[in-house]
């Protein structure tokens, strides 16, 4: 039910939606006899202040509608300096984050969105190095207390607001050893160095240790399975290939899910290429290989970069007689939208290299592949970790609770990740797994 939610900083244009959600929350408290958020608090001025400090966030659904709001801060809360009837789990001097002013739209209640917000705040804590996460709530606000309990937060005591009102205080320590059932790994720039074109011995051993500890190790790549020889020293429990278009079981043969590009899109892009005298290199992937209309310096540079031979040349008209999982367009990023929107209308593109883009069926991505594999093994998403570095890893890193971006990752991957580790050439995978206590 929480599929497609995103958390982002509040924009000025969101203010009316936030105030409507707040008004509903105030009315609900009033109806339940809870004297919280009454007398006009929080008002528009309070929310504007949160926005100006960069501490106001909204939750949006797949339709981009604002369905919840929260304030998340890493600044010390003066109301937390003194606590009664107990004590904080960590000393007052410790760096912590606080969530205030959580409110969920009436139409979105009962879906676990408040708990989801807490989970996103935990990701932010790991990213910012905060030692714990705190909240406070009214003694009669049982719904928020249940959220805290579901999120494994500890009731620490009572704090007083500036006006003397009591609030129950909760805290959760950000342990470095989360419960992990599956870890997903990209290849290029994550497992495999662009400099050495190999997986380090330390990484091979680290992944073997994960499996010995009962953690599923999953490959998540834009490559075909028969193009993954470079990681053959690693034993995987399942495979996400072609950016989620083909998910395979441990034997590499059993298909868990697959998604091909519609024939209408293939006909449209091939006709465009033919009518315009093949204006750019374009390759097509079936279940056996990758085939291209022609090879130029741009294409050769990409394939030299990953130490693989360029695809064989084949007439695209012949290629598209087979099932095609992925198209690669060797164009600049500025030209990419018009090509995809104009001729591959049921698809979307991602880019992990500046010289070309992967094009797959819309809605299919590494994120979707993660969900498929987790369902296959019966592992909850909260127990999934993923490592990546490129643009085609962003959806996966932002989707799992424990997304880890390599130190050499693109900025968009680092922004959504819960943790940024060292580079692939400086054993980033090993260091992150040790940081989270998953290996010694």
pLDDT tens per residue, range 60-101: 998 999 999 999 999 999 999 999 999 999 876 678 999 999
> Hunting for tokens 């209309």 — which residue is that?
293
pLDDT at 254 over 60: yes
Domain boundary (361, 378, 411) is at 361
Give the confidence band of 440 by pLDDT, cuts at 50, 70, 90: confident
Same domain, residue pair 137 and 244: no
pLDDT tens per residue, range 103-141: 999 999 989 999 999 989 998 888 888 889 999 999 999
As beta bridge partners, residue 169 has 136, 157
Q: What is the pLDDT of residue 127?
A: 80
Helices (H), 178-309: 201-212, 263-275, 297-305
Q: What is the pLDDT of residue 2?
A: 62
Domain boundary (320, 339, 361) is at 361
Domain boundary (361, 388, 404) is at 361
Q: Which domain holds residue 415?
A: 182-259+365-435
1 within a domain of the structure (yes/no)? no
pLDDT at 14 over 80: yes
Strand 384-388 and strand 182-185: pairing?
parallel
Structure tokens at 206: 């680290």
Q: Report the CATH number that the domain containing residue 76 is assigned in CATH.
A: 3.40.630.30
Give the DSSP per-residue string, 401-435. TEEEE-TT--HHHHHH-SEE---GGGTHHHHHHHH
Share the mean pLDDT of the chain: 93
Q: How far is 169 from 84, CA to CA, in rounded Å?
A: 10
Structure tokens at 23: 């008004």
Q: How many domains does the chain have?
A: 3
Let me know: does 291 contact 311? Beta carbons within 8 Å: yes
158 within a domain of the structure (yes/no)? yes
Give the confidence band of 176 by pLDDT, cuts at 50, 70, 90: low
Give the confidence band of 409 by pLDDT, cuts at 50, 70, 90: very high
Q: How far is 350 from 109, CA to CA, in rounded Å?
A: 33
Q: Is 393 helix (H, G, I), strand (E, B) or coil?
A: helix
Let me know: does 365 contact 396? Beta carbons within 8 Å: yes
440 within a domain of the structure (yes/no)? no
Same domain, residue pair 72 and 143: yes
Strand order in the sheet with 96-104: 6-9, 56-60, 66-73, 96-104, 132-137, 166-173, 154-160
């Amino acid at each position: 039910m929480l599929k497609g939610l995103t958390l982002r900083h509040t924009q000025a244009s969101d203010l009316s939606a936030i105030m409507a959600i707040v008004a509903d929350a105030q009315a609900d408290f009033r109806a339940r006899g809870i004297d919280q958020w009454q007398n006009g608090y929080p008002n528009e001025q309070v929310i504007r202040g949160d926005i100006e400090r960069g501490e106001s966030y909204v939750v949006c659904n797949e339709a981009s509608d604002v369905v919840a709001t929260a304030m998340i801060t890493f600044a010390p809360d003066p109301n937390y300096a003194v606590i009664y009837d107990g004590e904080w789990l960590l000393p007052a001097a410790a760096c912590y984050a606080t969530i205030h002013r959580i409110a969920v739209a009436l139409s979105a209640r009962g879906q676990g969105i408040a708990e989801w917000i807490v989970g996103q705040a935990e990701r932010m804590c790991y990213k910012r190095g905060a030692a714990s996460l705190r909240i406070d709530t009214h003694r009669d606000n049982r719904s928020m207390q249940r959220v805290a309990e579901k999120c494994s937060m500890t009731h620490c005591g009572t704090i007083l607001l500036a006006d003397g009102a009591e609030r129950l205080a909760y805290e959760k320590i950000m342990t470095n050893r989360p419960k992990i059932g599956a870890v997903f790994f990209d290849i290029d720039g994550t497992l495999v160095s662009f400099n050495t074109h190999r997986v380090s011995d330390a990484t091979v051993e680290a992944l073997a240790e994960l499996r010995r500890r009962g953690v599923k190790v999953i490959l998540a790549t834009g490559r075909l399975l028969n193009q993954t020889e470079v990681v053959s020293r690693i034993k995987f429990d399942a495979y996400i290939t072609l950016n989620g278009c083909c998910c395979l079981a441990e034997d590499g043969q059993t298909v868990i899910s697959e998604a091909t590009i519609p024939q209408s899109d293939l006909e449209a892009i091939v006709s465009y290429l033919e009518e315009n005298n093949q204006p750019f290199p374009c390759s097509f992937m079936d279940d056996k290989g990758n085939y291209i209309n022609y090879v130029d310096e741009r294409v050769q540079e990409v394939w030299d970069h990953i130490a693989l031979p360029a695809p064989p040349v084949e007439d695209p008209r012949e290629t598209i007689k087979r099932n095609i999982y992925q198209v690669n367009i060797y164009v600049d990023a500025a030209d990419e939208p018009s090509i995809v929107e104009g001729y591959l209308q049921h698809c979307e593109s991602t880019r992990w290299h500046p010289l070309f883009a992967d094009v797959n069926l819309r809605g299919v991505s590494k994120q979707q592949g993660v969900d498929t594999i987790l369902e296959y093994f019966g592992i909850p998403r909260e127990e999934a970790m993923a490592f990546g570095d490129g643009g085609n890893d962003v959806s996966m890193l932002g989707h799992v609770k424990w997304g880890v971006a390599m130190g050499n990752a693109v900025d968009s991957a680092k922004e959504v990740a819960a943790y940024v580790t060292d580079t692939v050439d400086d054993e980033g995978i090993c260091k992150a797994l040790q940081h989270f206590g998953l290996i010694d």
